[in-house]
Structure 1
């Protein structure tokens, strides 16, 4: 077995893939809200990674009320304590009843744990989930191993990559 750095076991997500997976998340959430006909009152995207999936989910489910919560839990690719740097509208949120909170990924679960404490009745949905944080999310699409680093399209640029084995 070859030892690899965390980023070397990468799961590369293209714009097309995040769009398809976010739409799949919307389909899974359709009709599952507590409102009339299973509707949701609003979508709250966790910035920054949750903004793209939140927009796609809100579009697919025709939810016009969209807000954000900004949580900082990474510092130069290392996890740190999660801190809210911007809250959603107080009058919108209440205890979270009828609110769909969306993020791109649940990793350790610390971000969602913090937001869940603030809005305990909200529904938490992510596109991707890792085992350590899976208990903090109510709905997700794809599970990846804890040691996989997900490369999202907004974090990448096209460039040559050496083959895993060999040089040509």
Structure 2
């Protein structure tokens, strides 16, 4: 799905913060967690919010590149692996580790990270149907053909009505 999709889901900073806190509420019962691994770059912001809400101090990142041009998913590449000390948690399976991302789209990125931490708990703020089976907890589901505009990707500009023919 590309940014030119007619199904746009713009998310403000306020809405994202509320949704990330709602994710933390859902995760509170699934813990406790010894560490959080955020999938960069999208997982950085929700991981910070969830870490604050759940009082988790040990935060790591894994860097996986998939959207190379912000439009189409290309070949996935691990740019930065998870540290050995985090991988060693839960007898080397990731038990007690929370993996956080902003969105699970196709699930390809989460699958790569799940191979690294098979028993970690995977969470995303937003989920699309193709990615849902790979994660354990999410807040909001959107259709596969919806493009989510995250607040860090947007500026304040005019938005055309959903049905331009209805304006008049």
- Same fold judged by TM-score > 0.5? yes
Deviation of 1:87 after TM superposition, in Å, equals 1.5
> How many Å separate the matches in 1 of 2:131 and 2:22?
20
Task: Work out whether residues 87 and 116 of structure 2, in 8 Å CA contact, stay in contact via their aligned partners in 1.
Answer: no
Q: Does 1:84 align with 2:82?
A: no
Partner of 2:49: 56
Q: CA deviation at 1:113?
A: 0.6
**Where in structure 1 do 4 or more consecutive aligned residues deviate above 4 Å?**
none
CA RMSD of aligned residues (A): 1.7
| Mapping for residues 17-166 of structure 1, pairs under 5 Å | 17-33=15-31, 39-76=32-69, 77-94=71-88, 95-163=93-161, 164-166=163-165
State the distance in 2 between where 1:120 and 1:13 align.
Answer: 31
In the alignment of these two chains, the number of paired residues is: 160
Tell me how far apart the structure 1 counterparts of residues 16 and 5 of structure 2 sit (CA, whole Å). Answer: 19
**Structure 2: where are the runs of 5+ without partners?**
none
Point out where structure 1 has 5 or more consecutive residues left out of the alignment: 34-38
d(CA) in 2 for partners of 1:165 and 1:91?
A: 54
Contact 2:38–2:100 (Cα < 8 Å) also in 1: yes
> How does the TM-score come out when normalised to structure 2?
0.90
Give the TM-score taking structure 1 as reference length.
0.90
